[in-house]
Amino acid sequence: MQVRPRALVSWSSGKDSAFALHLVRQSQELEIVGLLTTVSSAFGRVAMHGVRESLLDAQAEALRLQCLKVLIPWPCSNAIYEAQLSKALQQARAERVTHVVFGDLFLADLRAYREAQLAALGLTPVFPLWQRDTSELAHEMIAAGLRATLTCIDPKKLPPSFVGRTFDERLLADLPEGIDPCGENGEFHTFASAGPMFDHPIEVEPGETVARDGFFFADLLPKGAQRSG
């Protein structure tokens, strides 16, 4: 039996990393052994997406994977972020991880940045969604059963009313002209809660909408949870 290379998935908690994981599992070329997620230690939330750490843990459980958390302070300089990420990746390397899977689509500068980071540590990046047509990909994700909620939007690109909405065909039809269907230009971020990559759905509902640091966030809660904290 051929031993497959061991890999982590760079896990944002959103739809792109979830679908990248799904495709890699389908290909069976890599053995996915865990998730790699940046978490704000000051807030107990996934960085940028604003998702509660408890929901990240629920995702990991439904994916049957451990989550290697990169804890960063707030505010956080790029130097601190890179140091913390490098420490986590060195730990993974010591555990025989050789590849890291990313859900990036077409931002060439971001891909080059990731490649340089990993090369310095002797790790190989994998980009299963790279240069896919984002309109076709968005419809493919939905057709495959992936369910996600918009947790963060950039109000300079989308009306705040989009935050908390479900990523579905109706949402795609409502996106203004010029908005990438997958939000690849930073228009929005998502939380993936169901799909073929999960053992079972994670039932969530939007809590309070909060404006912070120039973005609007929907504070996702487990369905039926108390709206506090």
Residue 170 confidence (pLDDT) above 90: yes
Domain of residue 54: give its range: 6-126
Beta strands in the chain (DSSP E): 6-10, 31-40, 45-46, 66-72, 97-101, 124-126, 147-153, 188-194, 204-212, 215-222
Indicate which CATH number applies to the domain containing 11. Answer: 3.40.50.620
Structural domains counted in the chain: 2
Indicate which CATH number applies to the domain containing 197. Answer: 3.90.1490
Structure tokens at 227: 């709206």
Question: Which value, to the nearest 10 degrees, does the dihedral of the CA atoms of residues 86, 90, 95, 96 take?
Answer: 100
pLDDT digits (tens, 9 = 90+) for 76-106: 899 999 999 999 999 999 999 999 999 999 8
Residue 195 lies in a domain: yes
- Tell whether 25 and 77 lie within a shared domain: yes
- Tell whether 23 and 112 lie within a shared domain: yes
- Tell whether 151 and 63 lie within a shared domain: no
Structure tokens at 12: 């944002």
Residue 202 confidence (pLDDT) above 80: yes
Give pLDDT, residue 225. 64
Residue 180 lies in a domain: yes
Residue 29 lies in a domain: yes
Residue 137 lies in a domain: no
pTM across the whole model:
0.94
Mean pLDDT of the chain: 94
Give pLDDT, residue 68. 97
Q: How many CA atoms lie within 13 A of 82 on its CB side?
A: 10
Give pLDDT, residue 223. 83
